[in-house]
Amino acid sequence: MGTRGPTKRCPRCELDLPQGEFWRSQRSRDGLQGYCKVCSRGYEKQRYGVGRPKPGAKRRYYKDAYGLTLTQIEELKARQGGVCAICGEVPERAVVDHCHKTGLVRGILCNACNRGMGMLRDSLDVLRSAVTYLATHQARALNDGGDQDGNQRPGSEAQ
């Protein structure tokens, strides 16, 4: 018969469990949290709700990631008039745009514009090439009977 190793009793579910079933904690005498992992997760979901961040998580995120407070983020949004710095639309989900080389914050963007910048690798050369590409193909579409967005007009045939 093998031994189970040291156990600890969870006061919530009242089970004697192996110590590996408890999260570590520097605050407790035995180095383990009071409740087992299953009970701890249930408590967190009950207290904070499923999918909701813990209180202060957003504040800590902005401070850790960008060195900014929530107040500074709101001031930046207000200076931009509450719109995306690129497309000028009110963002459904505003995001902080920053330079990946320097870490400096550039402004507040909508999620689509921020992702577009990332897809273009934050490169002015790639962005200029994209503009040239769009302008060239837009002109071809107009010459071939399309509209400004490159869509074929009804009744016109592409050559």
Phi, psi angles (nearest 5°) of residue 70: -60, -35
Asked if the model's pLDDT at residue 54 lies above 80, the reply is no
More confident residue, 138 or 139: 138
Residue in 39, 33, 3, 1 with CA at minimum distance from that of residue 19 = 33
Indicate the pLDDT class of residue 139, thresholds 50, 70 and 90.
confident
pTM over 0.85: no
Structural domains of the chain, with CATH: 7-48 (no CATH), 57-119 (3.40.1800.10)
Q: What is the DSSP letter of 31?
A: S
CA atoms within 13 A on the CB side of 70: 6
